[in-house]
Amino acid sequence: MNNTLKRFGQVGRLGLGAAALAALTACVAPAPYYQTSSYPYQPAPYPVAAAPAPHVSYGRVVNIEVMQSQTSGSQQSAVGAVTGGVLGGVLGHQVGGGSGKAAATVLGVVGGALLGNAIESNARAPQVYQNYRVSIQTENGNYRAFDVQNPGDLRVGDRVRIDGNQISRV
């Protein structure tokens, strides 16, 4: 029994020493950690330009002209004629009786096809749009032109502020 207590005493002292060592290391601050890249810093091969600041200038409206643009019409198909012919034939078949019914059906098919074709032609026709080109002479003597959908209250001779690509009356 004497040997058992002796072993327990040695193990207990070792455990007590390990606990004391762990408590003391908890009081020490960890070493700072610096993350470094494996590649040294290299400056950019060319200077990086910052985005330009918005430029505001002033000028006078020297001209406002109407510009017309046109969309290209899409190619016509037979959908309108076929649809109109079918609907006209159905409606013509409802009219009359005997040989009159057959004639009304034929007339309905022909009339419906012509009407359907005309409706499709109008729907696919090119569209014409009006835009305006506002020409401005800036204070430094340069000319700038702006294409707008509507000039609003701008008139020739008005003093305007140009902020980027936006114009407004001063």
In degrees rounded to 5, what are phi and psi of residue 51?
Answer: -65, 135
The CA distance from 132 to 68, in Å, is 8
The pLDDT tens digits of the residues spanning 65-100 come to 998 877 776 677 788 888 888 888 888 888 877 778
pLDDT of residue 73: 65
Contact 116, 80 (CB under 8 A): yes
pLDDT range class, residue 103, cuts 50, 70, 90: confident
pLDDT of residue 146: 92
The pLDDT tens digits of the residues spanning 44-71 come to 566 655 555 568 899 999 999 998 877 7
pLDDT of residue 51: 57
Domains of the chain and CATH, by start: 56-70+129-169 (2.40.50), 79-123 (no CATH)
